[in-house]
Amino acid sequence: MEYPNRICKRCLLKEVDAEYFESLSIYINSIDEDLKVGNVTYKERLDICQECDKLVDGMCSGCGCYVELRGIMKKNKCPYDKWL
């Protein structure tokens, strides 16, 4: 059975739209390393987002951000204070 307009909950953008994620990934890679969190923190943040009910199609429905982009930046915080 197909679900053509099915909303993907708990999926990151890389799992929803690989082509768009590639563009986002290129952008993330171009960000100065001093502005980004480390790989461990980034993975922890994304793991928390994947457990959150606000994640829809790779976006936080609370703030409207792509969580992969929001999660990489040191200055950013979860709008619901779920990140450690």
- Summarize pLDDT for 43-53 with one digit per residue, the tens: 999 999 999 99
- With bands split at pLDDT 50, 70 and 90, how would you rate the model's confidence at 18? confident
Full-prediction pTM beyond 0.75?
yes
Q: What is the pLDDT of residues 30-69, one digit of tens each?
A: 999 999 999 999 999 999 999 999 998 888 998 999 999 9
Cα separation of 66 and 24, whole Å?
9
Strands 59-60 and 55-56: antiparallel
DSSP string covering 8-68, please?
A: -BT--HHHH-HHHHHHHHHHHHHS-GGGBPPHHHHHHHHHHHHT-TTEETTEETTT--BHH
Residue for token pair 């609370």: 62
